[in-house]
Structure 1
Amino acid sequence: MDNQSMLSELNERLYEYTKEIDDTFLSVKMSGEKGDFFSQVKPFADEVKEVVDHWKVEAASWIKRNRPKNLHTSQIESAAEQLEMISVQAFFPETSRTRFINYLQSVRYVLTVLRENINKYET
């Protein structure tokens, strides 16, 4: 598998994680019950982090090679940090809804822009 298709696959996996994170957040907000740290929060956050770490490397390298006008490595770094944060915060009902939604939308924006650029630069 070439780097571009690997990046595309990682990007899509992260987008799926944002859906799961959003669903978890809504469910936790409604129930008011926090997720169990060792059986739910940590395993999920670790799983997301593993994909994020790989994605960050691939995305940065892809950006250096292709130099898209509307996407920079700093946005990748920021999205990676935010994704790691919300993958944990989603399990806690006291998480600020506004901040959570802002982070989620920011991450999705970067993932969408990267997806569009990957499709545009496909050879």
Structure 2
Amino acid sequence: MSLYEDIIKLNRTFSSLKELYEKSEKPQDKKDPALFSYVKQQTLPIFKDIDNWKENALEFVKQRSVAVHPQQIESTAENLELLLMHSYYIDVKRKRYMELYQSIVYVFDLLLKDLESNTK
């Protein structure tokens, strides 16, 4: 999958997760094995998508002079993983959740602009 496709896919995924966060109640017992199993099953493919995006994004950033630095890619990957877990466990305040979400969207937008300008 290309970096562009990775970004679009993750954007859609995290938009859905944001809705999940906003509509869901906090789990009664975060240590419940059934919840853990469910979250693991739901998040495993997304963690793979994040790793794939990170690899492609780092490759892109290292090959070209772009507005995004490798450290921003690393930080965004960490934020994606945090947001993924917060979406299921609902364990941060909405303000913090939205800050993480907005920082991810910002980096995605920068990468998309760089991709667009490099294909012209």
Q: Verify same fold: TM over 0.5.
A: yes
Structure 2 CA distance for aligned equivalents of residues 54 and 93 of structure 1: 25
Structure 1 CA distance for aligned equivalents of residues 49 and 90 of structure 2: 25
TM-score in terms of structure 1 length: 0.84
1:8 aligns to 2:7 (yes or no):
no
Q: How many residues align?
A: 115
User: Which ranges in structure 2 are unaligned for 5 or more consecutive residues?
Assistant: none
The answer for the alignment partner of 1:82 in structure 2 is: 79
Structure 2 CA distance for aligned equivalents of residues 15 and 37 of structure 1: 24
Q: Which of 90, 94, 104 lines up with 1:93 in the alignment? A: 90
| Aligned-pair Cα RMSD in Å | 1.8
Q: Is contact 1:71–1:113 with CA below 8 Å preserved after alignment?
A: yes
SS at match of 1:12: helix
Could you list the runs of 4 or more consecutive aligned residues of structure 1 that deviate by over 6 angstroms after TM superposition? none
Residue 33 of structure 1 and its aligned partner are, at CA, apart by: 4.1
Residue 46 of structure 1 and its aligned partner are, at CA, apart by: 1.4
Aligned identity (percent) is 23
Question: CA 1:121–1:24 in 2, change beyond 3 Å: closer, same or farther?
Answer: same
SS at match of 1:55: helix
Deviations 1:82-120 (A, max 9, x none): 111111111123422111111111011111111111011
